[in-house]
A and B are shown apart, each in its own frame.
Chain A
Amino acid sequence: MSGRAVALVGGATTKFGVRASTWSELAQEVGAALFRAVPELEAKEVDSLFVGAAMPERFAFQSHVAPLVAEQMGIRPTRVLQRTELACASGQSAIRSAYAAIAAGLSDVAVAVGVEKMNLPSMAEANAAMACVLDRAWDGPAGLTAPPYFAMVAQRHMLEFGTTEEQLAAVSEKNHRFANSNPNAHFYEKTYPRDKLLRLPLVSPPLRLGDCAAMTDGAAAVVLVSEELAHRYPGPKAWIRGSGQYSDFHNLANAGSLTEWPGMKRAATEALEMARIGVRDLDFAELHDCFSISEIVEYEALGLCGRGEGGRFAADGRGDIGGDVVVNPRGGLLGCGHPLGATGIAQAVEVYEQFAGKVPSARQVPSPEWALVHNLSGSANVHSVMVYHRGRAA
């Protein structure tokens, strides 16, 4: 790793859910929340702003959102101002871009924000927007959206490895349980025991409603600073220690096996090697559980268990507090909802708050030091991974 060390020194999220707020109002709300959460931060010090937003053109009929967000948040960037778009990983892209700018010496204090407003008066329109993440011209006309794609992943995983609906429900039950101690989660104070999850209606068989992350409105923001300025922020820090990204394919015809995500393995290996740790060193991981089956395949791709063993890993509680490694203590995408651009930032906020010991005890990982954040995007064709450490810059 070369360049300056980069610390994440604080962050905030809005309430996630079906919000009676516009896209811009969510940006203002998260700005207000960020400056409350990080009182040392002064707007005039922020030299760069990165805005993760997957589809404001579709969801809010608004392009050129970076200056819009700057105005909403009261920030006037002088170094780098840009939007980052990588569908479901747009938020992590904003953090990665901020990290690159600071490491390169171009920025000293950067804010990375994610905003998405997905609940529209016409949900058919919102579903069409989601479909254009995939190959719109060559897979879209058949009606491809995320649920049928991940349903086929689940079907193949069941066929090849004997994974069961009960094991899928185990993932969803865990993440909804964690979300119950996260007041900003979409499904806060809603309980989903396994038997209830197994009775919910099918969305795309074999996936039921509880296996699918919701269409959610929300925003999240974090502050990243260079090692030289980190001392100005008295709280704990989450130092970025590793980063990896890999793109496999785009059209489904070029996907290869549905049940093996080599791109995630490569991205995670790259990030862990950069941090000079192994997967066993992780105290917790925020994995992209857009669907329950995603988390199961991700256990395997990350090397937490062998290929095909992800279902059993879930059912045995090995991703729970007290297990091998805590997965998705924030509540995951299943429990928090998935406002595309905000998700990756909200995961980083969770890393910071876990390191700071600021989360409710029901989801607090005991004395965490190492955390990994993963986002997939599209049809799991792109994987983005970052590794954070609590104490050391290098």
Chain B
Amino acid sequence: MSRERRRTRPSVVLPVVPEGPEVPAPPPPPPTTKRKRAAEPRPFLLDFFPVETEAGTRLARFFDRLREGRLSTTRCARDDLLLWPPRTACPRCHTEELEWVDLPDRGRLYAFSAVLVGAPLGMEKDVPFSVGLVDLEGAPLRLFGRIEGRPWNELEIGAAVRVESYETDDGRVYYRFRATE
């Protein structure tokens, strides 16, 4: 606080609150009547799943393809560059003319682990769950994802997995991997 302001304000003596735990209980809240409200949209900011429809993303096609069971992504034909995640502009030549390609539905585990504690909000019920990096067979891509079908201590590096799509509780679609051997 500047000296000038301190001078212009008269000092006031306010009652000192004694130290100690005794704080009087607040008065009970006034009675309320429950009112019916329209359904609220689900909380958005602690939800990991992406926006999937054309109303919110230019990559809706990814999710439309996924709903048909196909994992796809964008590719820059000019740079011969396969891009992940799917995008709207090439990071090399910056063209916005990208093409959609389907990705292989098989792969092998490059690395894996599991979440045994400390899951994010909304995933607590999934614990323990396995996750891993998968080298897709026939495409230069190593994707991260949930690994279903085997507990973590029965997985091995190099194990075969296949891509599958699944529906979330609220009807959105996402992809994951399933161990096949």
Asked whether any CB of chain A lies closer than 8 Å to the CB of B122, the reply is: yes
Among A136, A137, A148, point to the contact of B113 (Cβ < 8 A).
A148
Q: List 21 A-B contacts (CB under 8 A).
A: A123-B118, A130-B120, A135-B85, A138-B85, A140-B48, A143-B126, A144-B144, A147-B115, A148-B113, A148-B114, A148-B131, A152-B111, A155-B157, A159-B157, A204-B113, A205-B152, A251-B85, A252-B143, A253-B85, A253-B142, A253-B144
* Beta-carbon nearest neighbor of B146 in chain A: A142
Contact with B along A126-147 (1 / 0, CB 8 A): 0110110001111111111101
Q: Say yes or no: A203 contacts B117, CB within 8 Å.
A: yes
CB distance from B130 to the nearest CB of A (A): 9
Chain B hits for A141, CB < 8 A: 48-50, 174
Chain A hits for B143, CB < 8 A: 252-253
Among A137, A159, A205, A258, point to the contact of B48 (Cβ < 8 A).
A137
Within 8 A of B (CB), among A193-246: 201-207
Tell me the bound Cα distance from A135 to B144 in angstroms.
11
Q: Say yes or no: A142 contacts B145, CB within 8 Å.
A: yes
Asked whether any CB of chain A lies closer than 8 Å to the CB of B32, the reply is: no
Asked whether any CB of chain B lies closer than 8 Å to the CB of A124, the reply is: yes
Within 8 A of A (CB), among B95-128: 110-124, 126
Tell me the bound Cα distance from A11 to B120 in angstroms.
34
Chain A hits for B76, CB < 8 A: none
Please list the residues of chain A having a beta carbon within 8 angstroms of any beta carbon in chain B: 122-125, 127-128, 130-131, 135-145, 147-148, 151-152, 155-156, 159, 201-207, 251-255, 258
Q: Say yes or no: B113 contacts A152, CB within 8 Å.
A: yes
Tell me the bound Cα distance from A205 to B156 in angstroms.
13
Known: A127-B120, A141-B49. A204 touches B85 (CB 8 A): no
Asked whether any CB of chain A lies closer than 8 Å to the CB of B161, the reply is: no
Q: Say yes or no: B84 contacts A128, CB within 8 Å.
A: no
Chain B hits for A136, CB < 8 A: 48
Among A124, A138, A151, A201, point to the contact of B119 (Cβ < 8 A).
A124
How many residues on chain B are close to A (CB under 8 Å)?
A: 37
Among B120, B133, B142, B145, point to the contact of A131 (Cβ < 8 A).
B120
Chain B hits for A151, CB < 8 A: 113-114
Could you tell me the dominant secondary structure of chain B's interface residues?
Answer: mixed
Asked whether any CB of chain A lies closer than 8 Å to the CB of B89, the reply is: no
Q: Say yes or no: A138 contacts B121, CB within 8 Å.
A: no
Question: Which 4 A-B pairs rank lowest in CB-CB distance, beginning with the nearest?
Answer: A151-B113, A128-B120, A152-B111, A140-B48
Beyond A124-B122, A138-B84: 7 further Cβ-contacts under 8 Å? A131-B48, A137-B48, A145-B118, A147-B118, A203-B116, A252-B133, A254-B84
Known: A152-B113, A155-B111, A251-B85. A137 touches B50 (CB 8 A): yes
Chain B hits for A125, CB < 8 A: 46, 121
Q: Say yes or no: A152 contacts B145, CB within 8 Å.
A: no
CB distance from A281 to the nearest CB of B (A): 36
Known: A137-B85, A204-B116, A253-B141. A143 touches B50 (CB 8 A): no
CB distance from A379 to the nearest CB of B (A): 10
Q: Say yes or no: A204 contacts B121, CB within 8 Å.
A: no
CB distance from A250 to the nearest CB of B (A): 9
Chain A hits for B50, CB < 8 A: 137-138, 141
Q: Say yes or no: B116 contacts A205, CB within 8 Å.
A: yes
CB distance from B126 to the nearest CB of A (A): 7
CB distance from B112 to the nearest CB of A (A): 7
Contact with A along B143-159 (1 / 0, CB 8 A): 11110000011000100
Please indicate which of the listed interface residues B84, B116, B129 has the most CB atoms of chain A within 10 Å of its own CB: B116
* Beta-carbon nearest neighbor of B84 in chain A: A253
Q: Say yes or no: A143 contacts B120, CB within 8 Å.
A: yes
* Beta-carbon nearest neighbor of A256 in chain B: B142
CB distance from A170 to the nearest CB of B (A): 21
Among B119, B131, B132, B153, point to the contact of A127 (Cβ < 8 A).
B119
Tell me the bound Cα distance from A252 to B115 in angstroms.
17
CB distance from B137 to the nearest CB of A (A): 15
Chain A hits for B85, CB < 8 A: 135, 137-138, 251, 253
Among B113, B116, B120, point to the contact of A155 (Cβ < 8 A).
B113
Asked whether any CB of chain A lies closer than 8 Å to the CB of B176, the reply is: yes
CB distance from B59 to the nearest CB of A (A): 10
